Amino acid sequence: MRVEVDQEKCISCGYCVNHCGEIFDWNTEHKAEEEMGIVPKDFEDAATDAIEHCPTDAILAINDAEDPWDVDTTRDQDQDSWILD
């Protein structure tokens, strides 16, 4: 899971920073931002809690399965070409 904070939507309520300070912190404009884009498994529950409690839905969760660059490539031995799954 990855997280991103939309700076336009963030109202600096502090929920994410106070409840998941390992992932979120204040930036120089006093808005929350992600300290780690990729959330370690140990902090996924806390990050999800922050996402669900954000009053302006400023935190975006991106699951690896939704990542357009997370593509499995295999080589087709018969046709000497690449197949994208």
Q: What is the pLDDT along the chain (85 residues), one digit of tens a residue?
A: 999 999 999 999 999 999 999 999 999 999 999 998 789 999 999 999 999 999 999 999 988 654 444 444 444 455 555 445 4
pTM of the model: 0.71
The pLDDT, as a whole number, for residue 45 is: 95
* Domains of the chain: total: 1
The pLDDT, as a whole number, for residue 50 is: 96
Q: Supply the CATH number for residue 72's domain.
A: 3.30.70.20
Question: Burial letters for 41-79: b for 16+ Cβ neighbours within 10 Å, e otherwise?
Answer: eebeebbbebbeebeeebbebbeeeeeeeeeeeeeeeee
The pLDDT, as a whole number, for residue 22 is: 94
The pLDDT, as a whole number, for residue 78 is: 53
Q: Residue 16: give the domain boundaries.
A: 2-84
The pLDDT, as a whole number, for residue 71 is: 47
